[in-house]
């Protein structure tokens, strides 16, 4: 599940508990007072964050993850 406008800035801790049972949370913070993006991914789903695609600028944030889909297939998902 991809989320936008999570309002988490760089070097800021969460104001609310982000835990959701059965899910891991990964995020890309914002450089501004708005924005920020994140993913909730099922805990049993193997994934890696793609730092080569992920970015945070004054204009937007982008978070990309790579997940295994099936035995040998991989997919890349992004939230911008």
8-39 pLDDT tens trace: 777 666 556 678 899 999 888 888 777 889 99
Residue 38 lies in a domain: yes
39 falls within a domain: yes
Structural domains of the chain, count: 1
- How big, in percent rounded to 5, are the helix, strand and coil portions of the chain? 0, 50, 50
How far is the C-alpha of 22 from the C-alpha of 33, rounded, in Å?
A: 29
- pTM for this entry: 0.80
Residue 54, domain member (yes or no) = yes
DSSP reduced 3-state for 70: coil
Give dist(CA 79, CA 77) in Å, integer: 7
Contact 66, 75 (CB under 8 A): yes
Question: What pLDDT does residue 1 have?
Answer: 92
Residue 44: domain span: 2-10+20-79
Is 15 inside a domain boundary?
A: no
């Amino acid at each position: 599940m991809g989320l936008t406008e999570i309002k988490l800035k760089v070097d800021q801790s969460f104001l609310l508990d982000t835990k959701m049972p059965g899910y891991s949370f990964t995020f890309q913070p914002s450089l501004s007072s708005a924005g920020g993006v994140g993913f909730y991914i099922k805990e049993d789903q193997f994934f890696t964050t793609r730092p080569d695609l992920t970015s945070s600028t004054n204009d937007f944030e982008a978070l990309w993850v790579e997940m295994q889909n099936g035995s040998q297939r991989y997919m890349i998902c992004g939230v911008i």
